[in-house]
Structure 1
Amino acid sequence: MNLPLNSLLDRNDTTENARYNMVQQQVRPWNVDDNGVLDALYTVRREDFTPPAHYSLAFMDVEVPLSDDALAIEQGLCMFQPRVEARMINDLEVQPHERVLEIGTGSGYSAALLSKLAKEVVTLEINADLAEMARENLTDAGCTNVTVRVADGSKDTLPEGPFDVMLLSGSVEVLPKELLSHLKDGGRLGVIVGQKPIMRYTVVSKQNGTITTTEPWDIVAPRLQGFATAPRFAF
């Protein structure tokens, strides 16, 4: 059914107002101040990376499930809150000449944001169905500098490396130090590390062979699959 022009205009206005409010009321107050990131949030259509069944959640401050499974979020099959995705990228200070690796593609939204900031993005997704969804979403969005690969980022080789920036779009129990060998000198790795109720976004920087770690903020987030767990104490 073709909608009247006025209805289409009203729908567009409503969507753009929701996008504006997402950026101004959720994202910016969360210390997201990189103009490139803010511009990307306005130009990348988050709703196009949101499953149709959950379109109403596209601009809300909630995790959005990427499948119909009731445990989708618990299993890590979700989009993070917009402020979390934006702050993770913001704190990595991605530059236009840099190559980025993302682990945990999901629907492709974070990769799309990264594509506006970096020269090239390689994103790995362990779930083949999500990887295909992300490819379609990224193609439709015109993100020609993004490659989606079905892979387990915790175990598989990374032939495209080394990278200037690495982002894990999900949490892990312990810092995956094995990934640091794929990070260029001057590079940064961003990942949420810890166990409930305390997890911290951790930025690891490599400079002249020296590793520096900062933990700028706390957040609890769903797990990435495959990564090592912390040792458990036993009597």
Structure 2
Amino acid sequence: MKVLVPVKRVVDANVKVRVNADNTKVDTANLKMAINPFCEIAVEEAVRLKEAGVATEVVVVSIGPKVVQEQIRTAMALGADRGIQVEANEELVPLSLAKILKALQDKEQAGLVIMGKQSIDGDNNQTGQMLAALTGMPQATFASEVKVEGDKVTVTREVDGGLQTLSMPMPAVVTSDLRLNEPRYAKLPDIMKSKRKPLEVVTLDDLGVTLKQHQTVLKVNAPAARQAGVMVSSVEELVQKLQNEAKVI
């Protein structure tokens, strides 16, 4: 069984971002970039399925300019077998990403598509669901456990009321949550080996995909700074401020 894992290049989660001068987007110049954390969890789960003998091949795909090859190589150092870069120089919305991934799935015919539930930059949580809708594949989002038995995949997912278990025929789409696993660190020998693994570059024309503009960003603003706290000397003063100033009691 082949597993397809889409990954996204994002600003490292530990880096503080800033909005550019004309308030059109986040300024990523000279910032450390990394694999989206949820995508890294998806890569780890796919590699574990291969190590368990369930999957035969793990294919990683990233959509963007040439720099995304860095994240593809990182995923291959973690255990993926080969990578695909889909050339795209503009920022794409979830529907456009889903259309591209559908074209890739039609080509690769993977038994399972595992991807992060959302990216930490857009936080849309839409691409996996849209991909499932476009391909007609069953889906399970927010997965905290994935088990493959024969031609079915059983997914335990986190919902508001607790845990829900779904059993689906494959091919299927699964989006990973934080508690699915803890990604490994790439070892130096694996990093060196990843440089020799195949990485294919394809264009939208190669995939036969034509994209439209689905949304327009009007303005990007940094979140408002938090106001400084107030120290109080007694419980009575705290109650008075909550009642008269904050008006919460």
RCO (CA 8 Å, sep 6+): is it higher in 1 or 2?
2
Q: TM-score range by the shorter chain?
A: 0.3 to 0.5
Larger radius of gyration: 2
**TM-score when scaled to structure 2?**
0.33
